[in-house]
Structure 1
């Protein structure tokens, strides 16, 4: 009758949940990027807010990457929201827990016990107060290094070397699928551009995306696009997985989130010689971004099926607003008053007096104060800052 709270439902979080359920535990999960369909298949109760998990779980296990969004995801305020007597395990990343706040919660008994394999500073300093806590188990980031695990690693390395030498098969590359020099020269620009487009799409898409479609058109169809798809996935999953996601593990990470990937192809080039179009669907919403090459120069050429032209790097401000006179001047004035310079601007509208979409490449990131001023206008429907 005990409840396990799992924060982060990637491969390890999912495997832990399966084992806990097998032993009769009820599992409640928090992962803003996990699809509802995937949660049902794992037989876990998915919550939209972390606080809902904290107030019900008897045990909490963390399995998220360390990103600006997850740093100190368990801080003093959130630890106080947990059930008195909770037990906490962190074998994921140091920095997910505010260690000072954890010590206080352990001392006053609100947290009954904890186990840490990772720390904010590694190796753990000799004078760390964590070392003196009697209800805390510590391992030096070696919790997985059992005799059996080390034997398995040695066998896997030997098998990979044998396959490379005798069969020419490259297994378990740490950065990307194996490509010969000729293919890499052709698709290299698409790899970098695809990652940028994926990253762009992830920042305008809902957190819980069910499907991601990648459409290739033009000359890019003449080569194997597997590596490009993986680069796109890496960029798209950057927010959810941080630096832990790479071209090799991106498909598996997407599968763990319940994200379905599809590809489509158009042999006819259309308006551009080469074009990549990405679309994501989730939470009843569909968003898209398209990119093409102008010679050797990549450009974002569509956002949510609206034609634009923006550079795929730096800071991009995307606005949706009512199409009426004075809007461009009003936005430019607000940006200027806050010292934000516009590098390029592209406008698109559905019809006169309808809705306009504006993409602005900015030299610096606008402050929250500036964004609040922009969004305060009744003519502004949305304002999103994209970091590339």
Structure 2
């Protein structure tokens, strides 16, 4: 894999990649946009921080790109949707700088409350003044934390240590987590109305962009202190400046801006305001954090190369990692079933339905569905399909994908059924695990029991004496050995199905000879090159 590094990344992380013989790394910092676009087509992966914009134009130029690795939390400089449409995996390092960001938010707050920056400048300027720098204590203040994720949770814990009463707002956090942190979950408006200190710790999304604007700032208590060490654009800066100038907001501590570097007059005025403490996006800038995020994204690239689960891929549905060991065999089963049944389809597909029955239905089965869908799509389209773009490709092809779950499974403790419909025909396959290995237990409406092999042959024909002998004779004359045979029928003299596992492939000429000899209603050679996923789809099989 050839990787380009376009922003400063800690060498400790790159060293993990450099020692792998499968990896070739080029560090090219400070490239102009045109220069990067001219060479990106040579690379399989790009490692960036916030200094590189991975947009549609860059992704189109990166014909070989399989992965974008963002060495940090934020991915607002990456067009994730377009990357997904191209089948490019986007990974980040959401936990590597968690502690760094939390500590920096507290550093900003304390710097403002104790006038550290102003007093430092005064003393270094030769003055000895104390009265102008009288500060504020945190003890007894009501602090509002918006976003109670990894960073927000740590900030809440530290505020509690300073004896603040902490209120928090996060619609995606369970009440139990708030209880464990010792904070009270409230609405946004309650935060604005009741808090002396408000600190923001959410990602920048369509939902959070300009989340705190004129209305919210006007609602706040007089004398409030605001901290933003999360993402620029969450707080509208023009009304923030207005309320600072009016005195309603006592002060602000800001590490991030809507435009970086700041260029507008409003931003310059905000930065220059005497009651604002600012830093140039330093939340993740500790030596420890830089090493952590570099190591994290490098490990993800190695996981990709080893076909291991990707823990921090932002555009791949994934299991809770604590469940991966028990779910991995089901990913394998779904992949095998999909590769098998798609070879029996000879019409345009309208609908694909995955049904999960038994104990497995208690879990999130989305990764199973997407992995199976990727296997189906790879047999149907020319472009590379993986877990990133499988759903998008199916949608663009007009294919409806359904997922059904039931905890009832009469025959097996767990069973997966895949049904494909199109052209007025339906193909159904069901599978389960025997000692962790895939077994097919139902094909169409025939009960069967076999483990898929590399070379197989499926026939259906009118049940009558001598048919198995004819099949064996034709294959024997053609020097094709039968490894195993699986038979099924509904009734005597009705339709019969035979499924053969063979030691080698069957030529088209032999297929036609078998069709004629058996008057087969359906005959299809099946090639299963292996149950292990080799597409790098991130399913971890």
2: CA distance between counterparts of 1:191 and 1:386? 20
2:521 to 362, 381, 387: 381
1:206–1:285 Cα contact (<8 Å) kept? no
Verify: 1:248 aligned to 2:170, yes or no: no
Bigger Cα displacement from structure 2, 192-201 vs 164-173: 164-173
Measured against aligned partners, the alpha-carbon deviations of 1:33-66 in whole angstroms (never above 9, x if no partner) come to: xxxxxxxxxxxxxxxxxxxxxxxxxxxxxxxxxx
2: CA distance between counterparts of 1:291 and 1:280? 15
Aligned residues: 244
Aligned residue number for residue 487 of structure 2: 347
Alpha-carbon distance, 1:154 to partner: 8.7
User: Where does 1:1-388 land on structure 2 (aligned, <5 Å)?
Assistant: 144-145=60-61, 155-156=77-78, 161=92, 176-241=316-381, 244-377=384-517, 379-388=519-528
Tell me the TM-score normalised to structure 1 length.
0.57
1:220–1:274 Cα contact (<8 Å) kept? yes
CA, structure 1 residues 322+366, in 2 after alignment: closer, same or farther (shift >3 Å)? same
Alpha-carbon distance, 1:162 to partner: 7.3
Aligned residue number for residue 45 of structure 1: none
Alpha-carbon distance, 1:143 to partner: 9.8
Aligned residue number for residue 97 of structure 1: none
2: CA distance between counterparts of 1:248 and 1:183? 21
2: CA distance between counterparts of 1:371 and 1:226? 38
Measured against aligned partners, the alpha-carbon deviations of 1:84-111 in whole angstroms (never above 9, x if no partner) come to: xxxxxxxxxxxxxxxxxxxxxxxxxxxx
Tell me the TM-score normalised to structure 2 length.
0.42
2: CA distance between counterparts of 1:378 and 1:328? 9
Q: Which has the larger radius of gyration?
A: 2
Alpha-carbon distance, 1:241 to partner: 3.1
Aligned residue number for residue 82 of structure 1: none
2: CA distance between counterparts of 1:171 and 1:347? 45
Bigger Cα displacement from structure 2, 377-386 vs 181-190: 377-386
Alpha-carbon distance, 1:351 to partner: 0.7
CA, structure 1 residues 184+377, in 2 after alignment: closer, same or farther (shift >3 Å)? same
CA, structure 1 residues 248+264, in 2 after alignment: closer, same or farther (shift >3 Å)? same
1:310–1:359 Cα contact (<8 Å) kept? no
2: CA distance between counterparts of 1:378 and 1:339? 19
CA, structure 1 residues 229+384, in 2 after alignment: closer, same or farther (shift >3 Å)? same
2: CA distance between counterparts of 1:155 and 1:162? 14
Determine which structure has the larger strand proportion and give its number: 1
Across the aligned residues of Structure 1 and Structure 2, the Cα RMSD in angstroms comes to 3.0
**Contiguous gaps of at least 5 residues in structure 2:** 1-40, 43-56, 63-67, 69-74, 81-89, 99-148, 151-202, 204-310, 529-541
**Contiguous gaps of at least 5 residues in structure 1:** 1-121, 124-140
Measured against aligned partners, the alpha-carbon deviations of 1:128-169 in whole angstroms (never above 9, x if no partner) come to: xxxxxxxxxxxxx999449xxx9xx99218997475655679
Alpha-carbon distance, 1:355 to partner: 0.2
1:218–1:267 Cα contact (<8 Å) kept? yes
Measured against aligned partners, the alpha-carbon deviations of 1:277-322 in whole angstroms (never above 9, x if no partner) come to: 1111111111111111223232111111211122123122110011
Aligned residue number for residue 19 of structure 2: none
CA, structure 1 residues 268+239, in 2 after alignment: closer, same or farther (shift >3 Å)? same
2: CA distance between counterparts of 1:195 and 1:297? 12
Bigger Cα displacement from structure 2, 235-244 vs 182-191: 235-244
